[in-house]
Amino acid sequence: MDKTRQAGIAINQLGYRSKDVKIAIRRDGSGGFSLVDAGSGETVWQGETGQAEWNEASGGMVSRGDFSGWQQPGVYRIETDKGEISYPFVIADDVYEEAHRALLKAFYFFRCGMELEERHAGPWTHRACHLTPAIVYGEEEKRVDAHGGWHDAGDYGKYVGPGAKAVADLLLAEEFYPQAFKRELGIPESGGFMPDALQECRYELEWMLRMQDGATGGVYHKLTTLQFPPGDTMPEDDTAELYVSPISATATGCFAAAMAMAARRYRPYDEAFAASCLRAAEKAWDWLEGHPGYPGFRNPPAVSTGEYGDEQDADERYWAAAELYRTTGESKYHEAFRQLVDAVQPFGLFELGWANMSGYGTIAYLFSEREQSPALAAQLREGLLRRADELAAVCAADGYGISLQPEQYIWGSNMLVMNHAMLLLVANRLSGSAAYERHAIKHVHYLFGANVLGMSYVTGLGTKPILYPHHRPSEGDGVDAPVPGLVSGGPNYRLQDDYAREHLAGKAPAASFADVMESYSTNEVTIYWNSPAVFVLSHFVGL
């Protein structure tokens, strides 16, 4: 098939469940379209797109053809009256099963400190890495054994805050949609009585426990080398000295929250581990109480790796208080949570990103079985649904059906896409309104190809997936295909790397993307871009 004829029509390259909304997006104007059986060539459905309209984010005209009424399983393509032909796609109720599994298995490929063997990793193997104790920056005589955990992104740093977000997304997914996690992943721990998703999170949680200072309860912000290694460096060849950066309030707050979550989720499977998580969370909370007004984190002078700086920690404290209250029922955490609401409100109470973790605190409180303040619970519920309504309104006006405004196509825009879908699904769970779910699924369609570039933003999935992510193991391992199941950061109109400045200037926000290793500001991968995608797909495979 001539791929140049596919440039004018975008679809979800994985496909659609039978009863889902199914939209083909045309960029060549409006008119007739046909749904064609890919095997027989028979036209099984015909329709007309709506009127073409200007889409500011993508910088072009788009029209939308709805073929939701066709529910027969099979393999299909879309053909237009101007000769455009889409990539083939599937209609089947299990269409997202393998994608969900790949997005979750990606966390195994991010593992640090152990050999990835062929029987679990296929061709994407590497030797054990980063096993030497790390120097505590500013206390050069002090060493911390902080092996294990997940590499954060395309580099080999490990960061408590982003790791806590990723863990939170996965633990919430496993709590809300346990049926989605029945299948084994093919990781070393598979075959036990604990779901593989919890096994995988435990690998990160055990690293986080090593990042807590035993004497004070505070948590070191991150573990990295002083500088990033070259782009084709394999993990085992990154042998520069390791450093843990100083304790931060944001890391300590995230740690307390994630450990309190873990204490609940692991209790049915491993009471001793759950208890150790709760003790660590309570000790971290004691540190937070003893350090009000703690300065925001900034990289120490000699450190040039990812900073994850954050000037305020009210949202992390808010999240920690909510999780500790939900886990323990102790009134002191409830009181702290109520007092923190006003401090967090100016920054937003419903955000799910590493820079503002407030949404996790709100979710923890709303879904808690503990006694609530009725007025506060009503305020938070109404506020979350109001925020979901705002996102839904953007979806309804957007040519591609997603909730990003043009100015939101920033570094990690695909995280925002999936975070928004996640919030819509939480609203669906709170309200029972299927309208939120119908908007959320459009974000899945966007991720897998229903976008202005007509590509899947996940390695190894779809007919036209990204091939050259900013991911050092994929660059240096000698395997043609990148590590599968990695979510790319996506379009970023801010031109924040040299390649983007040279090649993407003048592009529309949603088209500001380059599938090259050099464009780290558009095509990097991270654990906390994968994690909300796992949550969202869990809804659509776990019902």
Whether 524 is catalytic: yes
Give the rounded distance of the alpha carbon of 333 from its chain centre: 28
Query: Among residues 358, 251, 345, which one has the least CA distance to residue 294?
Result: 251
Whether 42 is catalytic: no
Buried b (16+ CB within 10 A) or exposed e, 422-433: bbbbbbbbbeeb
Amino acid in the structure at residue 481: A
Count of other CB atoms within 10 angstroms of residue 292: 9
Specify which residues 9 forms β-bridges with.
Answer: 26
The token pair at 400 is 């591609």
The token pair at 334 is 């409830």
Q: For residues 488 and 259, give the distance between their C-alpha atoms in angstroms, rounded to a whole number.
A: 28
Q: For residues 72 and 70, give the distance between their C-alpha atoms in angstroms, rounded to a whole number.
A: 6
Q: For residues 487 and 421, give the distance between their C-alpha atoms in angstroms, rounded to a whole number.
A: 15
Cα torsion 406, 396, 525, 529: sign: positive
Query: Among residues 404, 473, 505, which one has the least CA distance to residue 125?
Result: 473
Inter-residue contact 135 to 142 (CB < 8 Å): yes
Specify which residues 223 forms β-bridges with.
Answer: 158, 244
Angstrom CA distances, 249 to 95, 150, 242, 515, 528, stand at: 42, 21, 22, 36, 20
List Cβ neighbours of 74 (8 Å cut-off, separation of 6 or more): 37, 38, 39, 90, 91
What's the angle, vertex CA 212, arms to CA 211 and CA 213, rounded to 5?
A: 115
Q: For residues 224 and 517, give the distance between their C-alpha atoms in angstroms, rounded to a whole number.
A: 21
Place of tokens 């909730």: 403
Amino acid in the structure at residue 156: Y
Of the candidates 81, 93, 189, 515, the residue annotated as catalytic is: 515
Give the rounded distance of the alpha carbon of 400 from its chain centre: 20
The 3-state DSSP class for residue 8 equals coil
Of the candidates 84, 152, 315, 524, the residue annotated as catalytic is: 524
The token pair at 340 is 């923190």
Angstrom CA distances, 488 to 86, 434, 471, stand at: 22, 29, 10
Catalytic annotation, residues: 515, 524
